[in-house]
Structure 1
Amino acid sequence: MSRAPRPPAAPDAEGFGGPRPVVAVVGPTGSGKSELAIQLAERLGGEAVNADAMQFYRGMDIGTAKLPLAERRGIPHHLLDFLSVREDTTVARFQDLARTAIADIQSRGKLPILVGGSGLYVRAAVDRLDFPGTNPAVRARLEDRLAADGMAALMARLAEVDPVSAARINDARRVVRALEVYELTGRPFSSFMPEREYVQPTVQIGLNGDRAELHRRIAARVDHMVAAGLAEEVAALVQEGLREGRTAGKALGYQQFLRVLDGRATVTAAAGETIVATRQFARRQLTWFRADPRVHWLDWDRPDLPDTAAALVCALPGGSPA
């Protein structure tokens, strides 16, 4: 069970000379982020903060590779399971929740370890980023236009007003959001992504390795999900409103296995489609995190991985346990 974030308190700096730094373990899906985060937490007195947007959802366990409670080895995990599949959240809300959780962990002299592959969510937690507001009427109008005119029409408009975002964005929801921001503020959405600057001392540790091995890991992970009951999990979540949610039903694996429930795909075909889509997602994750020069990249297969990662953390003031 996840721990709900508590309101921030003044950091208990005993033994550290100030609050402990923030650690972010990042990289593509299947690279071993969750295990490394637990190893660091065990060595350095830490707690994990989830930054995988699909693990926010209750009941989405098998298809998101959410660590079962028994495999967390007693390490508290924050920001898991706080949304129903009908609900949505925003990066701005996550920023508030993540920073509250981080402050709570630091107030108890513990090391906050952010772990996940949702790049914008990681940046929102660790960097100085402000997020513009929303307007339901403007959002609805843009979504109606998307339904009537298609993605190409909105992309053409975005290319006119914000070519930087148009070159980066490749999904309909983010195009709608970028155009909404422009209409509300008169500023391109890309202008709200300033230079990279941490809000407090932080170290990002990126995991990467052989590409063929990553593909093998992804395929094995999907096969395990299918064997563990992904189709049954999706069927149960349909009863909870999976189809009605704007985000949850589009998650990797869930979107493909909804087609199995509808009789439009076999389990074998859906698994194959999930493997391909996950490979593509992993490639986008790598592109995102490689663009950040502050990430310290480590090979996931190196035998001294936990030692090397811990040394990176301990190099920061307060990184070592008291």
Structure 2
Amino acid sequence: MSDSFLKKSSTNPQGNDARQEPSLNVRKVVAPGKRSAEHLPNIVLLIRFLKPVTWIPVIWSFLCGAVASGAFGWQDIIGIKFLLGMLLTGPLASGTCQMLNDYFDRDLDEINEPWRPIPGGEISLRNATILIATWSILSVVVGYLIHPLIALYVVIGIVNAHLYSANPIKLKKRLWAGNIIVAVSYLVIPWIAGEIAYNPEFTLQSLSPSLIVATLFTISSTGTMTINDFKSAEGDRQIGIRTLPVAFGDRKAAIIAAILINIGQLMAAAYMLMLDQPSFALIVTLLIIPQFYLQFSLVRSPKTMDVRYNAIAQNFLVAGMLVCALAIKNFRL
């Protein structure tokens, strides 16, 4: 990429020959004190736009689906199919959804996170549109290379991202709906994609255990999504986005989030018992205990404990996901 592709043209109020980009620009100018003072290389800007930290749960869900299929062995980690799956669920599909979210939330980000590339003035709307279109096409193509049905799931995920962020629907404004659709996109879609990638003779009946477990963990994930809402509560309140912290207040929202997180995992443990996998059910239950302990601190101070809680507690939650995937694999043997 050339240096001028991602970065917006600078303007010089004292010169007549300063070149300004003729196409779409960010609608609101961020106050000079809030804008990023540094001019980052294009590759760094692109990485910030794609938000690699958000890829991890989607990649993990794909891995869990692959393990649950019963046809995945750890030697497959270096196989082309798995590498394509990591590329798809990480930088491509997840990256596309993150760019879409930044594009449609640019006004909100000017309040909550003005250092992001679009409100910070480092990436223009035109160039953001080009990147989103390119990444969307690449995502569908890579999904098709793994399995044609996965390409369809990629399209559904991109549509979900539009429904979540874009007006007039903008599900993130609608209390539960936004977190639910994100949780589905982060868990159910990549989990089932992992199943399909390694189980070509799949049927609805064979997919049922994974569908049930992924749905139960979606309940838990809806709670973790609520915790992410604490950091942007002020901006959400100003422009009328009704997240749980805005609608119920921080403390009540934290209690609701904790209940959802625990219920989803307890139900998953109970389902492991139904599959006659008591050892796996016990492990999933034990993994809830440290999360429960951390939730007391979260409820006491949601805005100061949100990042710490997710950084620590989610490790136990995702470990439970893999345990359930191994239980499903064992059930199928």
Q: Which has the larger radius of gyration?
A: 2
Q: Give me the TM-score of the superposition, normalised by structure 1.
A: 0.25
User: Hey, which of these two has a bigger chunk of helix by percent?
Assistant: 2
Q: Highest relative contact order (Cα 8 Å, sep 6+), 1 or 2?
A: 1
Q: Give me the TM-score of the superposition, normalised by structure 2.
A: 0.24
User: Hey, which of these two has a bigger chunk of strand by percent?
Assistant: 1
